[in-house]
Chain A
Amino acid sequence: MASSSSVVSSYSSSSSDKGSGRILQFDPFQSLVDEGFWHRLSSLKLDSLGLDQSPIPLTGTPLLPSFFSLAFSVCFYAPCSHPKVSNRLTLLAESLPSDFKELQFSLERAHGNRNRCPVPGTLYNMNTFESFKALDRDSLLKKEAKKILDDIHSAKVEEDSAVLSRFFIISFADLKKWNFLHWLAFPALVVGPPAVVLNLRPAREVFNQGEAQSLSAALNEWRNSSLTTGVLYFLVSIASNSRATIRQLKDWKACQDDGQKLLFGFYDPSCRLDNPGWPLRNYLAFISLRCQDGKIQFLCYREKRGFADMGLSLVGEAVISPSKDCRDPQCVPKAVGWEPKPKSINLAESMNPERLAVSAADLNLKLMRWRTLPSLDLGTLSSVRCLLLGAGTLGCQVARMLMAWGVRKITLLDSGLVAMSNPVRQSLYTLDDCLDGGSLKAVAAARTLKRIFPAVEAEGVTLSIPMPGHPVPTNEISRVLEDCERLRDLIASHDVTFLLTDTRESRWLPALLCASENKIAITAALGFDSYLVMRHGAGPLYESDQANSLSTVDGNGGQRLGCYFCGDVVAPIDSTSNRTLDQQCTVTRPGLAPIASALAVELLVGLLHHPNGIHAPGEIANSIMSSSEQPFGILPHQIRGLLPQYSQMTLIGHASNSCTACSTTVVSEFRRRGMEFILQAIDHPTYLEDLTGLTELIESANSFKLDWVDETDDADI
């Protein structure tokens, strides 16, 4: 290397160096505000506002009524250690005090960390976008720059050089949207005409080998000592025997007088080989005002993988000359240093509790899928639309189970009000819902679902289901017809209907509508200590494209599964009049509803995962444990349980040709005559029996009655 002989000579003979004599341009600081900073700021803001509604001025009087400023925020930077990426001045959670009370918050954690050299700063947080916009940024910059100038004149810089890199940040934290608008400034004093660079080259090309080695060693020692690793500005003095020494800034006088070569060194965050980083600007101002003007030499210190790198570090020579005004401590200097534009980051993903709840709930299901049920289709579950008829013990529990499985679209239908007896058994209500006469059950239940899990799309519909055997007075016909239409529309617009009402007859119209629309219907019904959970078969008019199939034959060629009414030989009638109180209320053992509800939901999940869907044939529990083809096990048609025996069995019941709800005759008649047919069925229960041939069946059965009474007692299952 031509210039390796002597430092001094290489500085003066710089005519061939590129860029000599041009204005020294500084690579601006770049900031990075870490997510954690905003998390900490948010909790500070929320906590302090929780105690006191007024803004909290920490430093002097606030400029505006709606802001607070924090004098003790700190950011961190280190020498550049990447050949292509400049180091960023970073604001972390640790930049803020964890508590407003501890103003003198400690920097112990940061102290001695070589990658986190602390720099003091101020935060101006505005409470509205308007006040953020209205801030006089120019005077703010001047005010902060004046602090730096004061620190230079008062010799504070010599004690704590980090104040030369003082920064500030203005922000508007929108905690409702988790949006953080912010703008940083790194004030740089303009104390005279721009510095002129005489030369600027990699240190390796400037120093001879001995100097470079000695300097590297000295710098590494400096960086590895916890006492000096965070000191951003320092002096390099090189003796004639090539020995380099690093000294504190306060020693500048001694260094100037000892006749050795003096360079002003600083941690350079920039990675550029043609320009020094921003911290040099105020450093030059300090040097020109306090130490010397004219020609000075500086060292831009940079590292590679934690060690001094003489190829990346730069040595430069510049001419500086401060204007006379700035030597006056009272002067208010010109300043530059705003980042080019404000930045805005949105942290809803990590701060919005609703989103966090969603991802946490998803996690459980995903774990299940990853570990044991690879075929679990969370997409189907989250998009399936479920209609729950009845928001009582069963309805509440079914809704909760659906949410646990990741079902997100739930509509609850009920006509009642929450009664005092409900909350203990019906898990979506509390006493509050019973007050003032009681809330509408469907509405209250949907509201609770959203409180449990805000991402659920829950809706409550208040409607009473028209029932056979409950004749309609003439003046109410239009209302009943309207209810029928609404129910039909609801069933048509959902994928699954749960029949969870407390009477048999209220299930008839929904069962018929589901059969007509070919929608999945799941019934759960309770006795005092027994329960029935079943899925209805496919509708009779949806036998795929095979022309000659019978109504009892499923689209897949198998026998169609029955509905809740298929096993009956009587049409539904009014079961509520003439009942004693204990019969009218839901008198069941409390454990039944959760059991039956859970089974109903599990049955649906199994069905949704079956390739044949609604056409899936019924399966019966097998005593031989075979490795089931379906990951969810068998897919039963009916599950009946008896609590006194703690027993449960799976049954299959095929569709009946005389069914009052799902037979071809009934569904066709409904399709032909529509609401007129419904009204007739409601007013005259025997009409359904006549239509389906049940009347005939009962009569023929009666004629045989004598024959089989004595045969056997247990022939009824």
Chain B
Amino acid sequence: MQSETSARQWDGTLSPNDFNSSVAALCERWKEVNDSLPQWLWVPFPVVGDSSCNAAGYLTMENVYHQNASEEVSHEESILGDEELSDDATLVQSCGKDDMHVYDYHIVYSFNFRVPVLYFRGYRLDGCPLKLEDIEKDLPAYSLKGLRESKWTFMTQEDHPYLRRPWYTLHPCGTSDWMKVLFGSNAANNQPRPLHYLSAWLSVVGQAVGLRIPLGLYKSQ
């Protein structure tokens, strides 16, 4: 696969096969360097009748907790009245920690753009999905700045290609261009190794969505 692209200038994209090896490499490396986030897990979605395409599926990292400081949690009056409890063996909990936000991140290969695409969503502990405004409040300042000023990374809501439900995504239309920029002149003729591609890509999109990528991922491997 290297040979198909190395003949002419590399266009910043990734072939389905390279995506696959990239995913495997990332999962392995992540286990070694990650010290706070959950693990990446590949969920295959085999295409019926097409065994050749093993890039169908998504790489998932779920249950990333975000402590939300600002939000006022409203405790509405229950429409039906609360359950009356008279049981000594049940621990009665104070209403805390409800302001926790949970994020799920999926990396999907886009066969149209030939690049990885990040899909993500956030929800409260009661299952209510977060709106874009809520998500933006969770993002660190540098992410917001990037989202406002860069024309390459911006969030939209689109159907998750495998779950068929609207998730937030960073639109992939600029990805191949900034990937070329990222690898600079030394990549003009040489396609980067698959793991390098996905790590470099993750460094940009991770920053955009406030995901702290372990530095170890970028130390010499």
Contacts and interface: CB of A to CB of B under 8 A. Distances in A.
A23 B88 contact: yes
Nearest to B43: A109
B101 to A, nearest CB: 11
A679 to B, nearest CB: 54
Interface string B133-171: 000000000000000000100101110000101100001
A121 to B, nearest CB: 16
B154 A370 contact: yes
Interface stretch (B1-9, B77-85, B180-188, B195-203): B77-85
Contacts of A25: 88-91
Contacts of A385: none
A336 B90 contact: yes
Interface string A328-369: 000000001011111111110110000010010001001100
A188 B157 CA distance: 41
Nearest to A78: B63
Contacts of A88: 125
Nearest to A129: B79
Interface residues of A, number: 52
A343 B91 CA distance: 20
B166 A370 contact: no
Contacts of A93: 163
Contact of B151 (A181, A346, A349, A374): A374
B93 interface: yes
A367 B165 contact: no
B100 interface: yes
A210 interface: no
A19 interface: no
A133 B129 contact: no
Contacts of A684: none
B100 A133 contact: no
Contacts of B126: 32, 343, 345
A62 interface: no
A21 interface: no
Contact of A347 (B63, B79, B121, B129): B129
Contacts of B165: 35-36, 39, 350
Contacts of A30: 125
A272 B156 CA distance: 38
B65 A306 contact: no
B89 A340 contact: no
B83 A35 contact: no
Interface in B45-99: 62-63, 65, 78-80, 82-83, 85, 87-91, 93, 97
Nearest to B89: A194
B33 interface: no
A450 B111 CA distance: 34
B206 interface: no
B89 A23 contact: yes
Contacts of A345: 126-128
Given A82-B65, A345-B126, A371-B173, A366 B154 contact: yes
A24 interface: yes
Interface string A10-31: 0000000000000111111010
Nearest to B126: A343
Contacts of A27: 91, 93
A336 B87 contact: yes
A35 B131 CA distance: 13
Nearest to B171: A367
A366 B82 contact: no
A28 B171 CA distance: 41
Interface string A40-55: 0000000000000000
B127 A33 contact: yes
A524 B157 CA distance: 37
A26 B151 contact: no
Contacts of A341: 78, 80, 82-83
Contacts of A371: 151, 173-174
B31 to A, nearest CB: 9
A249 B125 CA distance: 33
A275 interface: yes
Contacts of A223: none
Contacts of A275: 91
A181 B79 CA distance: 10
Contact of B89 (A35, A281, A370): A281
A195 B89 contact: yes
Contacts of B174: 371
A489 to B, nearest CB: 37
Interface in B111-129: 121, 123, 125-129
A273 interface: no
A330 B127 CA distance: 39
Contact of B83 (A133, A181, A272, A340): A340
A155 B171 CA distance: 54
A582 to B, nearest CB: 49
Nearest to B123: A35
Contacts of B97: 84-85
A437 B142 CA distance: 63
Nearest to A371: B151
A654 to B, nearest CB: 40
Nearest to B75: A341
B39 interface: yes
Given A39-B165, A345-B127, A366-B156, A194 B65 contact: no
Given A39-B165, A370-B151, A371-B151, A26 B128 contact: no
Contacts of B88: 23, 25, 194
A370 to B, nearest CB: 5
Contacts of A343: 126-127
Nearest to A277: B91
Given A35-B123, A115-B41, 4 more contacts: A27-B93, A35-B121, A85-B65, A367-B171
6 contacts: A33-B127, A82-B65, A181-B79, A305-B34, A305-B39, A366-B156
Interface of B: 34, 38-39, 41, 62-63, 65, 78-80, 82-83, 85, 87-91, 93, 97, 100, 121, 123, 125-129, 131, 151, 154, 156-158, 163, 165-166, 171, 173-174
Closest 6 CB pairs of A and B: A25-B91, A338-B83, A341-B78, A336-B87, A350-B166, A194-B89
